[in-house]
Amino acid sequence: MRLVLTSLTFALCFATLASEPAAAQDYPYCLQGQRWGYPGNCSFSTYAQCMATASGTIDGCGINPRFAYAPQRGWYSGGYYRRY
């Protein structure tokens, strides 16, 4: 019985240490309004999804500020970036 409990404890500890936290993902559109604040609920990949969720409420949709003010891809300090 002790061997079973020790093995189970070891397996649970290993599973806990081996797991990774969920990675946050930024989406380009945010549901914004009095209930959501700013930047709001940024879990929409398309404007149509955001507007469908906002329909029938006083909320609206806007661009995620993390997308709007993120560094542009394909540029570097020396000029254009060549893609091969």
Tokens 């649970």 correspond to 12
Task: Write out the two tokens for 77.
Answer: 């300090």
Q: Tell me: the pLDDT tens digits for 9-67?
A: 666 555 555 555 555 567 899 999 888 888 889 999 999 999 999 999 999 999 998 88
Residue 7's pLDDT band, with cuts at 50, 70 and 90, is low
Strands (E), 1-84: 29-33, 37-44, 60-63, 75-76, 79-80
Other CB atoms within 10 Å distance of the CB of residue 33: 16
Q: Tell me: the pLDDT tens digits for 16-26?
A: 555 555 555 67
How far is residue 42's CA from residue 50's CA, in Å, rounded to a whole number?
9
